[in-house]
Structure 1
């Protein structure tokens, strides 16, 4: 599949991967690699920890051994990513349902990280063939087949960055359990304070005014900005079950326009109030 063959129905992660491949300047080498992939020369691809290990049949009797990997994120980086994911309810819900969120790259960007590599130079690779060029046609053939694997299981991208699907889902569930326990603890503390006024006086904390701040805020500290997610409410809820028709499409366009205008008006109203 080349760039011209991409459609709106193509998964976003596959689009990004193929665009990355097509950015390679040696087009003839890419064409040979594409033919290798189409002709079945890539005999197998397995994922071992954070690496893709492949066997590619070349001109020799024995297949060449190819390995591909990305620089993994550190444990600290993954901690930030998991925490941010847990704070974005729609992302957590989709991941726990086994679905890759459309804008998950925003979570990595918010922590100064990136899921996708910027260039092919960031994709580490090695081949046992004698060709000194990198990527050779055997490595590039695996690039194309990886696109198919991403289409089947987009969580492979996360695995190449150092965390399997199971590890991420387990960490998200643990984070949600912690948040639930903290919320329950807060509720119990409020209940105790209401039942025991003397205890509340001893701590000298007025829970009803704990978050109040009576002094005027410096205007430079107040930042009003749109949500970091570009998804509208309609996109989050999914398609409305309408029969495909001109009337149905017109209704969706009208609703999208309304939600867009409402979002803009909310920002303007907030800015006016802040002023």
Structure 2
């Protein structure tokens, strides 16, 4: 890959594409501090940053954010960053790193969301459901980082200056979280688009009755041996039922195209559904394979 191609794509050969980040120009705070501190998402975010950098740096950050010395706010997976300048000095990039939720926690959250269609509808429209923070709490996690979690600040410069500037970044980010609470989802590791896709996949699997290619065998553990092992050596492996009894059992229900059902709805737009096209191809290949085997056997 040439240097020009690498500049256009933002990646090099063999690397995964970078996660998109939400950026803004920054500027002066428009909301009052009390409004942000009383917000369930922004308030928890501010409290977490305050416990990390201390009260003095937190207050300095508020004054700096009010004066408009915070520029290019950027929100991405596991980070919040911006350029912050001090009086008489140039701007420096400050990055606040935030712990992201584990895949297990996200799977638990998405499974709960899939149980109600309202989550897909609200999130698809960019609306924040009122009980979003309650759902996170029910799953044992928090939407905004809690004071028990470890946040860190990075900047090329003195540590104390980085702590002060991180306070300014936190206040401007809090204004964004107040206006757009769903932005915190991306900070914690999942974009709204990805969450909606995974919820729809969960619901598709639930509606199809699951996607098991082969059902798990039912093993009766509650049966007790009627006699000791020594007394049943000669007939231990013999079935208790006649051969005709096994033939009378209902056959296991076959789920057609079980592997395709695992994919869920396709995210690609086209004239025909992708899963339907693949199902047709699978059926055609299966018929051709059976015909070839029969011709070879004949």
Structure 1 CA distance for aligned equivalents of residues 69 and 97 of structure 2: 20
1:32 to 60, 67, 70: 60
1:9-29, Cα deviation, whole Å (9 max, x unpaired): x64323333454566794333
Matched, 1:123 2:151: yes
**Structure-2-length-normalised TM-score:** 0.53
1:121 Cα deviation after fit: 5.7
TM-superposed CA distance for 1:95, in Å, is 2.1
Offset of residue 70 of structure 1:
1.5
Change (3 A) 1:167 1:35: same
Kindly tell me: are residues 57 and 28 of structure 1, through their superposed partners in 2, closer, same or farther at Cα, counting changes over 3 Å?
same
Match of 1:51 among 42, 67, 79: 79
The 3-state SS of whatever aligns with 2:63 is helix
Aligned residues between the structures: 187
1:109 paired with 2:137, answer yes
Give the secondary-structure state (helix, strand or coil) at the position aligned to 1:91: helix
Q: Residues of 2 paired with 1:179 and 1:75: CA distance?
A: 20
- Give the gaps of 5 or more residues in structure 1: 184-200, 206-275
Quick one: structure 1 residues 167 and 25, their matched pair in 2 at CA, closer, same or farther if it must change by over 3 Å? closer
TM superposition shift of 1:120: 7.6
Name which one, 1 or 2, has greater alpha-carbon Rg: 2
More helix by share: 1
1:163 matches 2:165: no
Does the aligned pair in 2 maintain the 1:51–1:68 contact within 8 Å? Answer: yes
Q: Whole-Å Cα distance in 2 between the matches of residues 88 and 107 of structure 1?
A: 12
Number of the residue aligned with 1:65: 93
Asked whether 1:203 is paired with 2:231, we answer: no
Change (3 A) 1:66 1:24: closer
> Is the 2:76–2:187 contact (alpha carbons within 8 Å) kept by the matching residues of 1?
no
Query: For 1:116, what is the secondary structure of its paired residue?
Result: coil
Q: What is the Cα-based RMSD across aligned positions, in Å?
A: 3.4
- Does the Cα contact within 8 Å between 1:33 and 1:140 map onto a contact in 2? yes
How far the C-alpha of 1:50 sits from its partner, in A, is 3.0
Distance in 2 between the 1:120 and 1:31 partners? 21
Q: Distance in 1 between matches of 2:148 and 2:93?
A: 19
Distance 2:154 2:165 in 1: 10
1:51-73 Cα distance to aligned partner (Å, 9 max, x none): 22211112564421111122112
TM-score by length of 1: 0.57
Q: CA deviation at 1:7?
A: 9.0
Matches of 1:51 and 1:21, distance apart in 2: 12
1:153 maps to: 180
